Amino acid sequence: MDAGRKPLAKIEGRRRMRLSGVTVAWRGTPDLDDWVAYIVNGTRSKKLILADHASERKVKGLLSRLQTMSRKDIEKLAKG
């Protein structure tokens, strides 16, 4: 008989950047490199992804760097 495993906990959140007013959301699983960060208030047809298949440390570092960037610089950094 196969014992059922507890599903891995997902973490997600969103933060509005002070200088630019851009809202960035992220989600992922602790201890796995499956984190993604993206711009929420972009257009639907043009999804702006900032990080994909990244580590939690990389995403959190990116979020702290984005606090002081302008909207234009953040959108340039995104992988549209």
The model's pLDDT over 40-76, given as tens digits with 9 standing for 90+, comes to 976 666 778 999 999 999 999 999 999 999 999 998 9
- Enter the tokens of residue 18: 């002070």
Is pTM beyond 0.85? Reply is: no
- Enter the tokens of residue 51: 């990080």
Domain count, the chain: 1
| pLDDT band at residue 23 under the 50/70/90 scheme | very high
Residue 5 in any domain: the answer is: no
- Enter the tokens of residue 39: 């711009």
- Please answer whether residues 30 and 15 qualify as being in contact, where contact means their C-beta atoms are separated by less than 8 angstroms: no
Residue 27 in any domain: the answer is: yes
**Residue 53: domain span:** 11-77
Residue 67 in any domain: the answer is: yes
Q: Which residue has the tokens 């507890």?
A: 6
Residue 2 in any domain: the answer is: no
